[in-house]
Structures are given as structure tokens and as C-alpha cells.
Amino acid sequence: MRVSPWRREQIIAKVVRMVECFLDSPGPEGGDGDLYTSEHRSLECGRQVANELLQAEVDAQGTGHCGQWHEDSAGVRRKFNRYVPKTVQSLVGPVTVQRALYHRTGASPAGVYPLDARLGLTKGAYSRGMEEVIALAGTCDVYRPALKLVNRLTGAQVSVQKAETTVAAWGAAAKAKVLAAPRAAETTVERIAATRPVPGRRRCVTTDGTTVQTTERWRDAKLMGTYAFDEKGKKVGPVAYAGTLHYQKDYSVLLWPLLERTGASRAETLVWLGDGAPWVWAQQALVAPHAVAIVDFYHAADRLWKVGRALCRCPK
């Protein structure tokens, strides 16, 4: 990191003041405080120091100004317009980047910031590191509890909407990366062994869905689960779940990895339990046509009562 001697002394002096302030500040009620309080005070002090160092690192990168003209990889030339600051929320707090803007009317895009490409800045207000944490938290838990943890540890204030868009964007990028990666060659024996049912393995797949209203639009909420059962049909062990807000046509994209991960895709006996809706059986026919399709007891009983009332012509 190239920093001028004056800037170097300024950073060191500021960091020293932060540490001295931390060491001189008394704990609760004038005492040293318990470990919990000291942990968070230390964390906040460390975050402030890290934020100062990160800001210095960003400043050392310059503004991206490369003269009066800038030519991109496509050969399009744009003229220097002005400097535009941008504040980005990072893992250690907000940092401000001064960027040179090059502009050309009619070009696509009309304006570019060379420094953005060098630093890996996105169009949003969050750094790549911050987006990574949001995406990882969003895939491990529902958004609100996950965001509470992220905001608690980073000092940020990430919204639920930002979490949704970040998880979707990072998921799409991860999917594209997986699809683009070269697949290992499989022999015929390996392919057969990977699809052969495991003797004695029994799994049940349960599915359900409903329509919910989100901040953007009405969406299909789908929940799926799978568990093992014994020879008497009793559930054995935990239930593995997966959920989605995608439409029905995307349902199997999420369901199949769940079956693969839990071993249900290679179960000798596979039961598909649902409420009898046409889309449930359509997904079962697509993902596991060999499964035994069963309507759950509640919906089966409801249909049986409807048939009985229709036969005896009873209103109730």
C-alpha cells in the first residue's frame, strides 16, 4: 500500500488515539465490566481501527483518473467528466471511494468508473465481502434471523429486501459457475452405481405450497421435506427441509438436490406424500416417477367425506 509519510503518520496517530480511548474508558459503573461488555467494546474498537485501515487502503488506490480520455476493452473512448464519491458498506463499516467518471453520450453505458472495476465495486451500496456474508447467512436461515446476526456482528443495517436480491444474485452466479465447470468423466459402471437403489432404504417425500404476498408481488411459497421410515411406516430420524418462493416450474430444481443430499433419490422404497393437487403429482412424475404417490390422511379423509355426502345427498 503506497501511502505518503504525512498520511501514514496521520493514520497511526488516529489509531493510537482510538486504542488509548478504549484503554482509558471505564467499564459500566466505573468498573472493568464483565467479559460480555468487554467483548463488544473490543469488537467495536477493532472495527474502528480496521475501518480506518481499509479507508487508507482505498485512498491509496487513487481515483481511477487516467487522463482526459479513457478507452474501454471494446475500444469506446469516453471523456473525463468529474469526480463522484461513493460510500460503500463493508464488513468493517462504511468507506468512501472517490472515483473518476468518464462519460460519452450515446455510449452503452454512457458513464464508466475505471476504479470500480479495479476495486471490484458493484452498483449497490455494499462491498463484495458484505454481500458474501449476507448471501451465506440467507442460505443457512430465514432472512430476518440471519440478518439480525449479520447486523449484530458487522454493525450494518441490511434490509430484508437487500438480503433477497443478494441471495438471488449470488445464487445465480454460483449456479452459472457450477454449470460452466468441466464435469469429471464417468464410466458406465460409475453411472449405473450412482443411480442404483440402495436395498432397504426407505424415504418419504412431503410437499405442500401456498400463495403469499411479498413486497414485490404474489409468489408461490413451496415447502418440501424428506425423512426415513421403518417397516411399520414410522418416521425415523430428523426431517430435512427445503423451501422456495419460486413458481411451480422451478420447484423441482430445488427439490432434486434435497433428494440427492438425503439419499432419497436412491431409496429402494420412495413414498411421495401430498395433498392431491395436480401440480404435486406433476412434480412427482417429473422428479421421481417410480415413487408411490399417496394422498395425506387429512385430505384423503376430506375427499372421502365429500364423496359420502354426495352419494347420500346430505348437505353436511
Query: Which residue, 37, 60, 83, sits at the end of a domain?
Result: 60
pLDDT of residue 29: 53
Q: How far is Cα 284 from Cα 280, in angstroms, rounded to an integer?
A: 6
Q: Using one digit for the tens of pLDDT, what is the confidence trace for 114-157?
A: 999 999 898 888 999 999 888 888 776 666 777 888 888 888 88
pLDDT of residue 1: 63
In a domain? residue 83: yes
In a domain? residue 54: yes
Same domain, yes or no: 22 and 54: yes
In a domain? residue 310: no
Same domain, yes or no: 141 and 116: no
Same domain, yes or no: 107 and 135: no
In a domain? residue 232: yes
Reply yes or no on whether the pLDDT at 209 is more than 60: yes
In a domain? residue 210: yes
Same domain, yes or no: 210 and 149: no
In the numeric block, which cell numbers belong to residue 51?
475501518
When divided into structural domains, the chain yields a total of 4
In a domain? residue 311: no
Query: Which residue, 110, 125, 140, sits at the end of a domain?
Result: 125
H, E, C per residue of the chain: CCCCHHHHHHHHHHHHHHHHHHHHCCCHHHCCCCHHHHHHHHHHHHHHHHHHHHHHHHHHCCCCCCCCEEECCCCCEEEEEEEEEEEEEECCEEEEEEEEEEECCCCCCCEECHHHHHHCCCCCCECHHHHHHHHHHHHHCCHHHHHHHHHHHHCCCCCHHHHHHHHHHHHHHHHHHHHHCCCCCCCHHHHHHHHCCEEEEEEEEEEEEEEEECCCCEEEEEEEEEEEECCCCCEEEEEEEEEECCCHHHHHHHHHHHHHHHCHHHEEEEEEEECCCHHHHHHHHHHCCCCEEEECHHHHHHHHHHHHHHHHCCCC
In a domain? residue 263: yes
pLDDT of residue 96: 96
pLDDT of residue 244: 76
Query: Which residue, 19, 36, 60, sits at the end of a domain?
Result: 60
Closest CA to 96 of 131, 63, 49, 135: 63
Q: Using one digit for the tens of pLDDT, what is the confidence trace for 255-288?
A: 888 888 888 888 999 999 998 888 888 888 888 8
Same domain, yes or no: 197 and 288: yes
CB contact burial 216-241 (16+ within 10 A = b; e otherwise): eeeebebebbbbbeeeeeeeeeeebe
- Which residues form the domain of 114? 69-125
Reply yes or no on whether the pLDDT at 63 is more than 90: yes
Closest CA to 84 of 48, 121, 54, 51: 121
Same domain, yes or no: 120 and 133: no
Same domain, yes or no: 233 and 275: yes
pLDDT of residue 141: 60
- Confidence band (pLDDT; 50, 70, 90) for 189? low
**Residue 211, domain CATH:** 3.30.420
Same domain, yes or no: 243 and 207: yes
In a domain? residue 255: yes
Same domain, yes or no: 54 and 88: no
Same domain, yes or no: 121 and 137: no
Same domain, yes or no: 30 and 99: no
Q: How far is Cα 242 from Cα 285, in angstroms, rounded to an integer?
A: 19
Same domain, yes or no: 290 and 229: yes
